[in-house]
């Protein structure tokens, strides 16, 4: 294998990594090609074995290579970057790169249950009647809506029937569909939690739906005073990003407000399956199914790239949202829907979620442990849940400086200020997504993060 390497000085590993990446990108190393063992390549090139192992590890993390016990290291079949933003952030000019992505938002993509998904896809396609491949109900395949109704009732306490479900391209499309429909139902403004993702706010604003702001404290969104809006978008099971759970009293208040005023609650249940200290609280939707749109997604349990999500709608919104979905894209891909339906009914979804729950729980514990040992001046807050945690920095520290120090160590993190939808009034903090690095990279990611915080 001629890698055209010029290996010298401290950039040996970076050079090897760049050469391998280039060889894969340009097709010189074809998908499936088995690479030499790290020992053999190191001996060949006259460099340390560690350098080769680390270069392989990095390229596995980026999705160019795969490593399986017994099968060695190979060029990935679909050699494509696992995280486009992370690879874009890389630069070759001697600038340190983003190697360890601790930004919130993604599950561990290297843990996607490929073989289970493939067998579900095979089974679903073999069993599907021909008409299932044609144009169908814009709400989605009945097989999937039935599977989801059962799963959501069992796992999240949602009161769902298949005819109230619209399958969509993630929460993102679900919200966009609602934004088209809500103005016609008397909603002029939607209230959102004052800390959250900017994207939904942009979607709401583009439809002229506000937003109004709700404060957030230790009990989740503050509902006293009640919002000056006809609808609110909440993350009740795990406030994003502050990690609080909506208190039982506020859940009841929210349901009462909606039922009493005809208001609407959009419940973004993005990571409700992941609770580590107790059974997850059930969906708020069950308290007022005619006033709550429950929104779920496969983006945290499986992978965002699937673009699979679902809305469970109050009766009065079903037709209008179905029409909006029909206009937007006709329907979500029936093959993906049939596969997910099979994946759920076969029990693979539950098995996968159980496995990931265990993994993410351990990662969170290790994050707590690493910070307690190496950066005792910071404090992790939020309930034991989800795929991210907020790490509060001592007063007076600068979020951007800590983020920059982490970046200089190849670690991408975000400051809480990135999620302030109005003024950032809280103390400095980081939002750490602990699920996204592949397992083999997590130890180093934590060590580098702790070093970046500690060396204030
Ligand atoms: C708070 C929140 N809601 C929803 C989503 C999921 O969006 P989608 O289903 O469009 O991938 C995310 C993903 O990052 C999120 O952080």
Determine phi and psi for 284, rounding to 5 degrees: -60, -30
Residue 204, number of CB atoms within 10 A of its CB: 25
* Separation between Cα atoms, residue 140 and residue 168, nearest integer Å: 8
Task: List CB contacts of 259: < 8 A, sequence separation 6 or more.
Answer: 288, 290, 291
Helix (H) or strand (E) holding 412, with range, is: strand 411-412
Geometric angle at alpha carbon 259, from 255 and 264, rounded to 5°: 75
* Separation between Cα atoms, residue 456 and residue 445, nearest integer Å: 18
Q: Which residue, among 13, 22, 10, has the nearest Cα to 2 in the 3D structure? A: 22
- Which residue, by CA, sits nearest to atom 13 of ligand 1? 105
What pLDDT is recorded for position 9? 56
Q: Tokens standing for 292? A: 């709550």
Instruction: Pick the atom of ligand 1 nearest to 174's CA.
Output: 10
Indicate the top mutation candidate among 167, 192, 204, 240 to test ligand 1's pocket, ranked by most ligand atoms within 8 A of CB.
240
327: exposed, middle or buried (C-beta count within 10 Å: 0-12, 13-18, 19+)? exposed
| Residues facing 75 on adjacent strands | 65
Instruction: Pick the atom of ligand 1 nearest to 106's CA.
Output: 14
* Separation between Cα atoms, residue 207 and residue 324, nearest integer Å: 14
Q: What is the pTM of this model?
A: 0.81
What pLDDT is recorded for position 92? 43
Instruction: Pick the atom of ligand 1 nearest to 299's CA.
Output: 11
Q: Which residues of the chain have pLDDT under 50?
A: 80-96
Looking at 332-414, list the stretches that DSSP marks H as alpha helix, in order from N- to C-terminal side: 334-345, 348-374, 399-408
**How many angstroms separate the alpha carbon of residue 150 from the centre of ligand 1?**
22
pLDDT in tens, 103-140: 999 999 999 999 999 999 999 999 999 999 999 999 99
Task: List CB contacts of 400: < 8 A, sequence separation 6 or more.
Answer: 415
Q: Which residue, among 139, 399, 435, has the nearest Cα to 270 in the 3D structure? A: 435
* Separation between Cα atoms, residue 388 and residue 272, nearest integer Å: 13
361: exposed, middle or buried (C-beta count within 10 Å: 0-12, 13-18, 19+)? middle
What pLDDT is recorded for position 54? 84
Q: Tokens standing for 52? A: 């080769």
Determine phi and psi for 299, rounding to 5 degrees: -70, -25
Indicate the top mutation candidate among 236, 269, 270 to test ligand 1's pocket, ranked by most ligand atoms within 8 A of CB.
270
- Which residue, by CA, sits nearest to atom 6 of ligand 1? 171
**How many angstroms separate the alpha carbon of residue 10 from the centre of ligand 1?**
40
* Separation between Cα atoms, residue 169 and residue 240, nearest integer Å: 20
- Which residue, by CA, sits nearest to atom 14 of ligand 1? 105
* Separation between Cα atoms, residue 388 and residue 105, nearest integer Å: 8
Instruction: Pick the atom of ligand 1 nearest to 240's CA.
Output: 1
Tell me which residues have their CB closer than 6 angstroms to ligand 1. Answer: 105, 170-172, 197, 235, 240, 268, 270, 297, 299, 304, 309
Helix 318-329, helix 170-181: angle, nearest 10:
120
Helix 114-127, helix 348-374: angle, nearest 10:
160
Q: How far is CA 433 from CA 45, 181, 363, 452, in A?
A: 37, 33, 10, 16
What pLDDT is recorded for position 160? 94
């Amino acid at each position: 294998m001629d890698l055209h390497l010029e290996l010298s000085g401290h950039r040996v590993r970076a050079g090897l990594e760049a050469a391998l990446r280039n060889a894969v990108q340009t097709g010189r190393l074809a998908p499936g090609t088995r690479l030499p063992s790290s020992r053999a390549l190191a001996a060949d090139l006259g460099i340390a074995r560690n350098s080769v192992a680390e270069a392989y590890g990095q390229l596995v993390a980026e999705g160019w290579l795969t490593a399986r016990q017994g099968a060695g290291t190979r060029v990935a079949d679909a050699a494509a970057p696992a995280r486009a933003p992370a690879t874009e952030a890389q630069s070759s000019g001697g600038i340190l790169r983003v190697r360890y992505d601790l930004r919130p938002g993604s599950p561990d993509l290297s843990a996607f249950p490929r073989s289970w998904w493939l067998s579900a896809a095979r089974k679903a396609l073999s069993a599907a009647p021909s008409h299932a491949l044609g144009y169908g109900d814009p709400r989605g395949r009945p097989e999937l809506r039935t599977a989801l109704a059962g799963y959501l009732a069992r796992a999240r306490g949602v009161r769902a029937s298949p005819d109230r479900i619209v399958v969509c391209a993630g929460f993102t499309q679900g919200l966009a569909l609602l934004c088209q429909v809500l103005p016609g139902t008397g909603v002029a403004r939607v209230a959102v939690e004052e800390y959250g993702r900017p994207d939904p706010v942009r979607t709401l604003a583009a439809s002229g739906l506000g937003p109004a702001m709700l404060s957030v404290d230790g009990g989740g969104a503050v509902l006293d005073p009640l919002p000056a809006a006809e609808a609110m978008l909440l993350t009740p099971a795990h406030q994003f990003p502050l990690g609080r759970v909506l208190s039982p009293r506020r859940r009841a208040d929210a349901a009462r407000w909606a039922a009493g005023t005809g208001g609407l609650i959009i419940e973004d249940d993005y990571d409700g399956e992941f609770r580590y200290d107790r059974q997850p609280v059930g969906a708020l939707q069950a308290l007022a199914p005619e006033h709550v749109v429950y929104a779920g997604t496969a983006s945290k349990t499986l992978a965002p790239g699937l673009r699979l999500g679902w809305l469970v709608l109050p009766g009065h919104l079903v037709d209008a949202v179905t029409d909006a979905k029909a206009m937007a894209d006709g329907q979500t891909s029936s093959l993906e829907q049939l596969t997910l339906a099979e994946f759920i009914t076969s029990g693979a979804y539950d098995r996968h979620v159980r496995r990931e729950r265990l993994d993410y729980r351990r990662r969170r514990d290790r994050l707590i442990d690493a910070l307690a040992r190496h950066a005792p001046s910071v404090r992790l807050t939020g309930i034991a849940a989800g795929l991210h945690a907020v790490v509060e920095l001592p007063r007076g520290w600068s979020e951007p400086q800590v983020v920059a120090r982490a970046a200089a160590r190849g670690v991408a993190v975000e400051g809480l200020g990135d999620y302030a939808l109005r003024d950032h009034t809280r103390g400095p903090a980081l939002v750490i997504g602990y699920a996204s690095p592949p397992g083999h990279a997590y130890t180093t990611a934590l060590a580098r993060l702790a070093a970046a915080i500690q060396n204030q």
